[in-house]
Amino acid sequence: FEWTHQRLDGEVFPATILLSRLAAGGNIFLQATVRDVTEQKKAEEQIRQQQQDLQTIFEAAPVGILLIDHTLVVRQVNAVAARLFGKTDDETVGHKLGESLGCIHATNDSGGCRKDPACSLCPIRMTVENTLATGQSVHGAEVPATFHIRGEDVGLWLEISAEPMVREGKRHVIMVINNITER
């Protein structure tokens, strides 16, 4: 168990305590092993802070960001991406990429994402699949696509970048999307 321990000089530090029961000569003894975990606690706090910083950057970015797993399911999305495609987090996270973005082929075909023949030519899907397969980044690819947004089919020009990463031992892709339609 964890405990706050005090040194002889009065300094307090976090520790783990291991208690062991020992029997010798008909007597029972309790042995306590105290381990200073100050450095471990500092490292855990640093990791927690870095994770919080990365989450803040993820949410504050002025472009859409999606985390996509090896099965092309969206695992995380920032508010900019959700707004761009007229979706909520619940409508995006946990769904295939085309369904998450509202691709007209994914919404028009009852089979969903990757079932329409046009899906084989989808530049967004091809970029993600290529990044997953090769581990190579893609930066600034400009692609046209049509999405079903708030009941309408909307044509957009997007600038996309894809960066490979490994999460829980499996390949994932961080995809950054910038709406360049006005340009």
Question: DSSP letter at 103?
Answer: B
What does the pLDDT read at residue 115? 60
First to last CA, the chain: 60
Residues β-bridged to residue 64: 177
Written as six digits, the tokens of 98 are 């085309």
The pLDDT of residue 102 is 85
Q: Which pLDDT score, from 0 to 100, does residue 89 have?
A: 85
What pLDDT was estimated at residue 100? 87
Contacts of 156 (CB under 8 A, 6+ apart): 144, 145, 146, 147, 179, 181
Reading the chain (183 residues) residue by residue, the pLDDT tens digits are 998 988 899 999 999 999 999 998 889 999 999 899 999 999 999 999 999 998 899 898 999 999 999 999 999 999 999 999 999 888 899 998 888 888 877 655 455 555 666 666 788 988 999 999 999 999 999 999 888 888 888 999 999 999 999 998 999 999 999 999 999
Q: What is the SS3 assignment for 165?
A: strand
Q: How many CB atoms neighbour CB 21 within 10 A?
A: 8
